[in-house]
Each structure stands twice: as structure tokens, then as C-alpha cells.
A and B are shown apart, each in its own frame.
Chain A
Amino acid sequence: MSTATRERTKPQIATMNAVHDLPVLVARDEGFFKDEGLDVEFITTPGMAQVTTSHFVKFDSVFDRPLDSVYNEGRIDQYRMCEWGIMKRAVEANAQGLRGRKIVALGASMSKFAIVVNPNSKIYEPEMLKDKPIAVTPNNGSDFTTLKMIEGFLEPEHVKRTNAGSMLKRLEAVRDGKVTAASLMEPWISVAQKWGMRILIESHSTRAEAASEDLDGDTLKKMFRAQARAVEKIEKDPRPYVHYFVRETGGLLKPEEFQTWRLLHAAPQPYTRERWDDTYRWTVKWNMTVPGATYENTVDNRAWQ
């Protein structure tokens, strides 16, 4: 346990991009964590969805990125990302001797990702992206989900991903003809539609929840119960929560232009062995993480035990 962790008395949860963290934000603002008897501190780190994020992430090490480095320093106990991104981090933190984290649940946000192109391009469907650069955030949801969506249409060696910066930067790059396509999540898919961009393919995708050993199973269970309550609220009527997304675009989107139908959430669930086997094998196949990990040293469903 790090010094920073030992001095703290309440769980610290990270939030980054609204589309992935919406149940946490809603649970916080509706008081659902407090209803569970939890006094949680929320740490916001820069994500690729915020218009204010100008940094270019490093391709080579995920652990240098803002959220990852704050976690490594012990100032965050729990966070969520795309399922494959969490897999990579959980496996490689162990392999590199960094602060440990395990997959503690299949997450609540079934976030949509979409691959968009310029409407003036002659690209009308995914196979036409053969050997063409697609802007993603390397080793994050937009990267992994691009591979998943494209794999049926193109041979792996013909899928070319590139880094063009934040969601806004890559959308501008598509608009300006600097990159052929971009992988986007909300609210940027809605912005792309507003700008008249062409959506080739889109899919819901999974998050996973990661936590350090400093959070016990009972606390995690309460956190996930609070998120599950938030999911019910969001599914019933997402409109009161659109402001989280609109804010990320810094004025580029009006509330009524946000496509709420793309939001989809489910209560957090245990991360099954079968799911781990499939996801880990796929991630290793794409050389996105190192071999040698096991379900036992990567997953901990203590919230349900």
C-alpha cells in the first residue's frame, strides 16, 4: 500500500470521459453513493472527449497517461475504461511491477463508438478503409473497438490506425482531409453528424471496472449498487444528463443536437472466466498486451463474494 493511499480515509474514484463514466457522475450527483453509506472522492483526469484536452497521448506507454499515472501514484483507487484497455493495464501493471489493479467487474457503460469519414470522400463502407489511416487513441476504447468493428471487413494487416489527438482534433483532421477516418465516441459522434460527416459503422462496446486492493469487496459492492441505480435513471430518461456531454464539446453541440438514443447502460456484473478467456486471447492476438496472465491474477469478483 502506498503512503498516499494509507493516509486517505475514503475511496477515490476517477472520472474521465462522460460517456464511459455517466453512471458514476449520475450516482454522485443524485446522491446514490451517499445512500449506500459511501463518502467518495472524485478525481477528474483529462480525457480525449474534452474540448480542453490538447495533449497527444504517448503511444508507447499507457502508464504515462494522466489517469494511469495518478493511479500509479496511489491517488485513485478505482476507475473504468474500455474492457480491453483495462485488460492491458491490469496485465501489464503486474508484469511491470507497477501498482497492482484487477478487473473487478464488467462495467456499466456500453458506450457507442463510430468510424466516420468526410462526406466528400469516396469511402462508403468499412472495406474501403483498406490501408487507409483511421485516427484513434492508441490502446484506448477507440483503438480496440475500431479493430473489433473492422476485423470482419479487412485483414489485420490492412487495418491502419494512427494518432491524431483528441476527439475534436481527429474530427478536424477528417474534415480537413488530413486523415481518412476517425473513431469517435459521444458526444463527438453527434458533433460529427452535425458537421455532416458520414458514419460508416458503429457499435456499442464494453467497459471494465478496475480497482486496487485498497478497496474491499463490500465497498465495491455498494459502489456498483449505486451505479446500478444510476443506470435505471439514465435508461428511463437520459435527457436530464445530456449536460455532461454538451459541456465536453465546449459549445460545439446544443443539448437538442445530442443523440441520446446512443446511450446504453447496464448494471455492473461479475467478470466471468469465459469472458476473460475470450478477451485476453483476442488482446494478445492483436499484440495489444503481453502473454502469461491468468484469470486468477487479473480478475477479482470480490464485490459479489
Chain B
Amino acid sequence: MKKVKASMMNAIHDLPLLVARDEGFFGDQGLDVDIIKTPGSGQKDSDHRALRANIFDRTMEALYDHGACDQFRMCEWGVMKRAVESQTEKGHRPAKIVALGSAMSTFAIVTHPKTRIYEPEQLQNKPIGVSPFNGSHFTTLKLLEGFLKRDQIKTAFAGTMRERIEALKRGEVAAISLMEPWISVAEKNGLRVLMESHSTRSEAAGDELDGPTLRKMFEAEAEAARAIEQNPAKYAHYLVEEAGGMLELKDLKLPRILNAPPEPYTRQRFQQTYEWTRDWGLVPAGATYENTVDNRAWQ
């Protein structure tokens, strides 16, 4: 069995990985995948280790830098930022984008009914709680760009998913960006979902992981994506557990769970996503498809 060290943070983004491990799909591929659980922002008792100002100081990124794991996934734009900056900043272990990921996680922008905000345009110049440079941040920009001018979109740090729900209830922010299971927790608490969308992950890996091994990992994840689609309720417990008693299975909106087989990360996709991320000033200039992407799993 080939040993692989992959990391996970939040169940909604890592569900195919967890299911592939627990259903034995990695084993079927001849892989022994060790999933290193790192702190995320989506567990009830999450602290701020995954939210430090410098992304490379965050636990998962630091573990990757020090070689404790070889492969991770995050929102597409977050992986873009990390892949580009690991090349352009000194002292970091390079990571390349090796696939468009499985989890098409839903993010939602949520307000409190007492704010009298009923639709996205009413968020003009109002603070929205996000995790800076993570999925909730990037997806908020994507969601709002059609409704507001860029300088009218105001994002703010408001802690973990649970903490930002509390910040919203206290009126410290006008809105918050959430992923599951916290969208369902928000709904259970009577908060208002203004808009929501599925969004993309990317898979990143160090050079230590060869193409055939990555391919086997992605085939196992694809098998897991099919299993989840057939019976999402069977795997919803991973999400319910993160809510630490604040949510029951019946309260989780299962149609929000969506996963697909990993795919090669195309040049066209790189160009658009890199340009968009750079245009927002979220990543430095100078990266190329060649030094950022490696589809070796399909070569």
C-alpha cells in the first residue's frame, strides 16, 4: 500500500476525502491515505488558528510547509493564492494546483431579519463577515459583484462560522458568509439567507506526490462523489458533528451537498481565475499556468 499524507479542515470541502477513506475507496486503489485533521473555521469549537492574518501561519498551511502533509484542498481562489505565493515568496514549500476539486460547496450570504436587508443590493457599504482569503471571502465577492460595485462591497473578519453567527446576532456586522452545516444552523436560528451558490475547490499538492498516485486518489474521490450523490443522508453526520449539537440531521438541507469527480485544471480556467484574483488585488502578478498548475494525474 502506498502511503499518502493528505490534510482536511472542514467537512463540507473534504467530504469526498472522508468518504473515500471510510468506505475503503482509497484502499481499493492500493493507497493508505492518512488524513491529518487540521483546525478549520467550521467546527463549533474552532479557534483562530485557521484564520491567522498571514495565510502561511495558518495551521494547515504551516503543516504543509513543514512537510507534515503533501496534499490539500480549499476553495479554488484560495488554492490559487497559496500556489502563486508559495512560488513568489521565499521560504515556502511550493504547492501546485493539481486538479479542479470534488466539493462544489455552497456558500450563502446571511442577514438578521431585524436588519431590514432583503436582497444583495441592500448590502451596499455594509460589513459582511468572512474568513479573509478563504472560500467565504472569495465567494462573497463573486456573489455580490453583479449587485454592487466593487468599492461598495465591504468584507470584515468576524471569526469562525459560529462566531460570525453570534456577531450577526449582536449587530456587529450586517451580514455573514457561511458554508454548511452553518447555513442550516443559521436557518434554524431564524436568520435570513439572501443568496447562495455552489462554488469550486482546487486540489493542491507538493512535488513529492507523483501523477499515478494523484490519479488513484482522484479516482477514489470520484467514487466517493458518486456514493454521496446517491445517498447524501448517509454521510451527513460528518457535517452535523461539526455543529456540535446545534443541528440535527433533519435540519440540514441535503440538496446543498454537491460533489463531482476531480478534473484537470485547464489553462482557460487558470487564466480566468488568476486574472480575477489578481484584479481584486488578492494575489501578486507574475504567475504562469506552467509554474502554478500541474495536471500530472492525467498524463
A interface residue numbers (CB < 8 A to B):
110, 122, 124-127, 147-153, 155, 193, 198-206, 261, 264, 266, 275, 278
Contact = CB atoms under 8 A, between A and B. Distances in A.
Determine which residue in A148, A205, A278 has the highest number of CB atoms from chain B within 10 A of its CB, and name it.
Answer: A148
A127 B263 CA distance: 15
Given A122-B260, A148-B146, A152-B143, A201 B119 contact: no
Contacts of A278: 121, 124, 149
Contacts of B200: 124-125, 127
Contacts of B197: 125-126, 149, 200-202
Nearest to A108: B118
Nearest to A267: B116
Interface residues of B, number: 29
Contacts of B195: 149, 201-204
A204 B120 contact: yes
Interface in B210-259: 255, 258
B33 interface: no
Contact of B194 (A126, A204, A261): A204
Sort A-B residue pairs by CB-CB distance and give the 5 closest, nearest first: A151-B146, A152-B145, A203-B195, A201-B197, A152-B142
A258 B269 CA distance: 37
A205 B147 CA distance: 10
Contacts of B121: 206, 275, 278
7 contacts: A124-B200, A125-B104, A152-B144, A152-B146, A155-B272, A203-B195, A206-B121
B196 interface: yes
Contacts of A200: 197-198
Contacts of B146: 147-152
Given A124-B258, A124-B260, A203 B119 contact: yes
B198 A202 contact: no
Contacts of B116: 266
Nearest to A274: B124
Nearest to A148: B146
Contacts, number: 75
B199 interface: yes
Given A198-B258, A205-B119, A152 B141 contact: yes
A25 B260 CA distance: 42
B118 to A, nearest CB: 4
State the majority secondary structure of interface residues on A. mixed
Contacts of A125: 104, 197-200
Contacts of A151: 145-146
Nearest to A155: B272
Contacts of A147: 146
A67 to B, nearest CB: 23
Nearest to A147: B146
Contacts of B187: 261
A205 B121 CA distance: 9
Given A125-B199, A153-B142, A110 B118 contact: yes
Contacts of A126: 142, 197-198
A124 B257 CA distance: 11
Interface string B49-68: 00000000000000000000
B82 interface: no
A48 to B, nearest CB: 20
B119 A110 contact: yes
Given A149-B195, A203-B120, A204-B118, A193 B255 contact: yes
Contacts of B269: 127
Nearest to B197: A201
Contacts of B194: 203-204
Nearest to A146: B146
Interface in B118-132: 118-121, 124
B121 to A, nearest CB: 7
A198 B104 CA distance: 12
Contact of A264 (B145, B192, B199, B258): B192
Nearest to B142: A152
Nearest to A266: B118
Contacts of A155: 272
Contacts of B260: 122, 124
Nearest to A119: B229
A127 B116 CA distance: 31
Given A147-B146, A152-B145, A201-B195, 14 more contacts: A110-B118, A125-B199, A126-B142, A127-B200, A127-B272, A148-B120, A148-B147, A150-B146, A153-B142, A201-B198, A204-B119, A206-B121, A264-B118, A266-B116
